[in-house]
Amino acid sequence: MRIILGLFLAVAALISGLIAAYYWFRSAEVRLKKLGNFAEPVNEAVLDSFTQWIFEIADNIKDAAALNKRAAIWTAVSVVLGAIASVIGNRPV
């Protein structure tokens, strides 16, 4: 029974680690839109475009931070499950 429990925890640690990697991969894929050409004269439309771009940067940072938070939680779950599996697997019979 102990072997089965240790194996189950090890597989759960693997799965949670893969979930964490998935969220970190997604957070690295958050991309910004390219800003328009600043060679044109600065007018209110250009400033509005720039302001909108700044707000999009803030939104993208929030999105990446949320994904990083999920990844960190799943990493912690994976480490705890792996540690428990290791302790159970190394206990003397």
How many residues belong to the chain?
93
pTM as predicted = 0.76
Q: What is the mean pLDDT of residues 12-40?
A: 84
Percent of all residues in the chain with a pLDDT value above 70, rounded to a whole number = 86
pLDDT of 93 > 90? The answer is no
What pLDDT score was predicted for residue 84? 94
Model confidence over 30-39: pLDDT tens digits?
A: 887 666 555 5
pLDDT of 83 > 80? The answer is yes
**Residue scoring higher pLDDT (2 or 63):** 63
